Amino acid sequence: MSIGTETGAAGHPSLRDILKHELQHLRSHWLWVLLLGVLLVVAGTAAIVVPSLTVGTTFAVTIFLGALLMVGGVATIVSAFWIGKWTGFLVQLLVGLLYLAGGFVMTEKPLASAVFITIFIAVLFIVLGTFRSIGALALRYPQWGWSLLNGVVTLLAGLIIYRQLPFDAAWVIGLLVGLEMLFNGWTWIMLAVLLRNLPADPPPVPTH
């Protein structure tokens, strides 16, 4: 019998074994993954809808959006540690830290000009989108295709914001922050659906 696809070279587990083990590990946390996705979708929707309905100042809108980013960041960081060790851990941890940093800056400097805040968001999205795309391509963790799409959309959003400056600076803050969180949330939801539908104990792969 060939050392084949199950054990790999020199008795080391194959990529198929690693992926199977990782999916089963994540399966036990599918509900937490789903809740994180729903939270990000709700926050992203609020980031898009509430500023357009608020007859208030840029100050209030900025505080609100910063708070949403911080909530999303804390939830993403907590979920990264709660789910435990997997190939996407570092990517999700960085996403949470960037969310948290962005929210902190927006709440601490709400009186800064809309243009300054938008430049910060543009740079944040370009870095976040680039890292997420590279991480998805390099690690190929479960549902990495959705994460790659999410990274590309985030990167394009950052480039669009930067190229549109200084026009519509205040308008893009809520819209682009909301869209980024929406895509991130739906990525988690799709992963949760995949994990929920996995069999509890998949049958062994025939060796011959």
pLDDT at 131: 83
Question: Residue by residue, what is the 3-state secondary structure of 34-84?
Answer: HHHHHHHHHHHHHHHHHHHHCCCCHHHHHHHHHHHHHHHHHHHHHHHHHHC
pLDDT at 205: 45
Among 43, 71, 38, 77, smallest CA distance to 174 is for 43
3-state secondary structure of 103: helix
Tokens of residue 36, six digits = 């994180």
- Could you count the other beta carbons within 10 Å of the beta carbon of residue 195? 21
Q: Is 121:77 a contact under the CB 8 Å cutoff?
A: no
Local confidence pLDDT in tens for the 208 residues of the chain = 333 344 444 555 554 555 566 666 677 777 888 898 999 999 889 888 877 665 556 677 778 888 888 999 998 888 888 776 666 678 788 888 988 888 888 888 776 656 677 777 788 888 888 888 887 787 776 667 777 888 888 888 888 877 766 555 556 677 777 888 888 888 889 888 887 877 765 444 444 4
Alpha-carbon span 59 to 78, nearest angstrom: 29
| Residue that is written with structure tokens 């799409």 in the block | 149
pLDDT at 12: 53
pLDDT at 41: 92
- Report domain extents, the chain: 15-196
